[in-house]
Structure 1
Amino acid sequence: MSTAPALSQLEGELVRRRLPLIYDYLSPQPSHLLNLSLNSLLTQTQSSSPAFNEAQWRLPSITNPNFMPRCHHLIYFPPQVPSPELLPDGCDELHSPGQPFNRRMWAGGSVQFFGEGGPLLNGQRAVCVEGIREVNIKGKEGEEKIFVGIERRIATMDEHESDDGVRDRVWTQSEEDQGDSIVIERRNLVFMKDRTSDEIEASKATESSPRRIMKGDYGSTSIYYFQTANVWLVVSTNPELIQTIIPSKALLFRYSALTFNAHSIHLDRDYACNVEGYDDLLVHGPLTLTIMLTVFQSHAASLGQTVSSIEYRNLAPLLVEREMRVCAARKSNGSSGSWDIWVEGNDGGLAAKGTIRTTPVTPN
């Protein structure tokens, strides 16, 4: 396992790090399995169970393929790292600054989708070109946190295209340049030092304490103020869309399997509680994003719209088998195709917040 260079050298070392290309075949199977795991959960009510529909749950045809649903790119292009090279927490070290920054969290990011439908799930070969765009070190001496901004660019490709040809065609010096990408994703990870036993107990006490929530009325719109990490955030309490789900252990396991993610914080309760200091297993950051966009895209489709981009922040952990509510409301500034989206945790506090932009779907 590598040791982190001096903090003064760390930013340059990470940004210059050359990450391997990640290849995949866009088979319908992973997307189909994600739909099996999510759709019944998102439609099930407490009083009824969804009826099994054999035709609905049949694997889609590869000769008459569907487009990749929004955010399903997250279950393709997993890091292809041999098991012996994984870190003690089950993660890879591709983006890690090294010791002593052994803990990691998914802090947020953004995704841009190009085209109305996304790539076809017809078995074609595709590639993810990944690089570290930005590194920020925050916190006083001895309590530093390292924020790593990762960009992932997804494109289809010819079977025999060279690695250098792929990089030249897909990766661009400017983050604003699409190149040949069909999806551009920004992931913001934060790396932290291991917690002491006292810090773990303090974290558990904080987790169990209710967060402050205040209400106010502004014209015809009610507002909630959520205090998260000492920052007051505002969301409308009159959402156009509300969806409540309870993420199960089975869902966390299946999502870990689909994303080839062995991070113990999602799989090992003893690790999550006794090493990381949480009350239970954590819902994956990308799973939260997947749930948000799955819920919202269904609503957008009913309006003749499709998601073109999302920017979001994860503000508080979501725990397994606790209720979470996905809410969305049109932005109050009246801008067309712009929405606030947020996730409330079991205590009513804000766990994630973002902005979605949509574009009209062209009629067939």
Structure 2
Amino acid sequence: MHLARSGLGPYVETWSPGVVTEDDALSPAPVAALSALLDQPEPVAAAGDPLPPLWHWLYFLQWPAQQDLGDDGHPRHGHFLPPVPDRQRMFAGGRCEIMEPLRVGEPAQRVSGVSTVAIKQGSTGELLFVTVRNEYLQYGRTRLVEEQDIVYRSGRSAGQHPSALDTTAAPQSDEAWQLALQPDPALLFRFSAVTANAHRIHYDAPYARGEEGYPGLVVHGPLLVLTMLELVRRNVPSCPVRSVSYRLRRPAFACERLLASGAPTDSNAILRIATHREQCHATAEVTFA
């Protein structure tokens, strides 16, 4: 870990969290819950079936005691949370290599550790980039390896957000794959529940507006990514996914009309989430085995 001396540097120059190993039974219940949230007529996978790419985000969840949550709903402390004062967290993106899909209803293990820590200067000040590597195993075999890029800042920054939302304008695309979504507060609340995400920007509109400066509730970054991957699951369900890389670029807000679209080839697919005001709120690339 190489960190320049800076405002954030002294807080993390000796921070070196150890590797953590956790177990999960991969119960079918979370798959059924997310399937219902996505208006699927039945669960997309049952016990023994392969778990769709990145649906492992429904598992290995953390439930800290209520007294251990901060005012924003995030945990005050955590093994992989850097000791930065007035810490603000943003999920920036990640990569996942899939050797074999995880199987629903079969015991799994996750081995997690910090792979990189770096301080960079952004347009709004210093940012701390932490990459966490997660290896998922079943029956002693590595099934997939994921890296998640998390960005932290000390204190809040006034972002560039619309002052009002147009919930009627629809984005357009001529790409082969398309999936429309208009997430309302109930959907965001249910996604928070199924992923154990207590961050108030996703369900507490007065907080999101008054404390964080957003024009409304914020759509979860993981929900944007999973919506893009629904294009693959629904259009080419028999094509095994070898890898996924994704990036979260601009926030989207509750009740905006979203469009996931994709341009597939024989070997990969380029995916994105658009609104009428932004062409790329999130992007992803999927490669097929």
Shorter-chain TM-score tier: 0.7 to 0.9
Tell whether the 8 Å contact from 1:20 to 1:130 is kept in structure 2 after alignment: yes
User: Which amino acid is 1:189 matched to?
Assistant: I
Aligned to 2:168: none
Tell whether the 8 Å contact from 2:272 to 2:282 is kept in structure 1 after alignment: yes
Aligned to 2:169: none
What is the CA distance between 1:300 and its match in structure 2? 2.0
Q: How does 1:4-43 map to 2 (within 5 A)?
A: 7-14=8-15, 16-40=16-40
Aligned to 2:206: 270
Residue among 288, 291, 301 paired with 2:224: 288
Quickly say closer, same or farther: Cα 1:151–1:60, change in 2 above 3 A: closer
What is the CA distance between 1:156 and its match in structure 2? 2.1
Aligned to 1:68: 51
What is the CA distance between 1:76 and its match in structure 2? 0.6
What is the CA distance between 1:102 and its match in structure 2? 1.9
SS of the equivalent of 2:51 reads coil
In the alignment, does 2:281 pair up with 1:351? yes
Q: How does 1:203-282 map to 2 (within 5 A)?
A: 203=159, 206-208=161-163, 238-282=174-218
What is the CA distance between 1:151 and its match in structure 2? 1.2
Aligned to 2:61: 78
Aligned to 1:193: 154
Quickly say closer, same or farther: Cα 1:263–1:113, change in 2 above 3 A: same
User: Which amino acid is 1:273 matched to?
Assistant: R
What is the CA distance between 1:107 and its match in structure 2? 0.7
Aligned to 2:234: 298
After superposition, give the CA deviation of every residue in 1:221-260 in whole Å (9 maximum; x if it has no partner).
xxxxxxxxxxxxxxxx641211111112122111111111
Quickly say closer, same or farther: Cα 1:58–1:192, change in 2 above 3 A: closer
Tell whether the 8 Å contact from 2:8 to 2:126 is kept in structure 1 after alignment: no
What percent of counterpart residues are identical? 25
Aligned to 1:149: 131
Q: How does 1:122-137 map to 2 (within 5 A)?
A: 122=105, 124-137=106-119
Work out the number of aligned pairs and report it: 275
Query: How far, CA to CA, are the matches of 1:141 and 1:306 in structure 2?
Result: 39
Query: How far, CA to CA, are the matches of 1:321 and 1:300 in structure 2?
Result: 28
What is the CA distance between 1:129 and its match in structure 2? 1.3
What is the CA distance between 1:78 and its match in structure 2? 0.7
Unpaired runs of 5+ residues, structure 2, are: 1-5, 166-172
User: Which amino acid is 1:139 matched to?
Assistant: Q
What is the CA distance between 1:19 and its match in structure 2? 5.0
In the alignment, does 2:97 pair up with 1:103? no
What is the CA distance between 1:150 and its match in structure 2? 1.1
After superposition, give the CA deviation of every residue in 1:267-319 in whole Å (9 maximum; x if it has no partner).
21122112221111111111111111122222122xx4222211111110011
Bigger radius of gyration among the two: 1
Quickly say closer, same or farther: Cα 1:24–1:80, change in 2 above 3 A: farther
Quickly say closer, same or farther: Cα 1:141–1:73, change in 2 above 3 A: closer
Query: How far, CA to CA, are the matches of 1:58 and 1:312 in structure 2?
Result: 25
Aligned to 2:268: 338
Tell whether the 8 Å contact from 1:11 to 1:136 is kept in structure 2 after alignment: no
SS of the equivalent of 1:265 reads helix
Tell whether the 8 Å contact from 1:155 to 1:182 is kept in structure 2 after alignment: yes
Quickly say closer, same or farther: Cα 1:29–1:209, change in 2 above 3 A: closer
Unpaired runs of 5+ residues, structure 1, are: 41-55, 158-168, 170-179, 211-236, 360-364
Query: How far, CA to CA, are the matches of 1:136 and 1:6 in structure 2?
Result: 13
What is the CA distance between 1:80 and its match in structure 2? 4.1
Q: How does 1:309-328 map to 2 (within 5 A)?
A: 309-328=243-262
Query: How far, CA to CA, are the matches of 1:326 and 1:262 in structure 2?
Result: 25
User: Which amino acid is 2:119 matched to?
Assistant: I
Quickly say closer, same or farther: Cα 1:25–1:322, change in 2 above 3 A: same
Quickly say closer, same or farther: Cα 1:282–1:75, change in 2 above 3 A: same
SS of the equivalent of 1:139 reads strand
Tell whether the 8 Å contact from 2:231 to 2:261 is kept in structure 1 after alignment: no
Quickly say closer, same or farther: Cα 1:108–1:240, change in 2 above 3 A: same
Query: With structure 1 as the length reference, what TM-score do the two structures score?
Result: 0.68
Query: How far, CA to CA, are the matches of 1:66 and 1:24 in structure 2?
Result: 16
Superposition CA RMSD, Å = 2.7
Query: With structure 2 as the length reference, what TM-score do the two structures score?
Result: 0.84
Quickly say closer, same or farther: Cα 1:58–1:99, change in 2 above 3 A: closer
Query: How far, CA to CA, are the matches of 1:242 and 1:300 in structure 2?
Result: 13
After superposition, give the CA deviation of every residue in 1:56-104 in whole Å (9 maximum; x if it has no partner).
5379764xx3221222101111124332222332223323223434211
Tell whether the 8 Å contact from 1:300 to 1:307 is kept in structure 2 after alignment: no
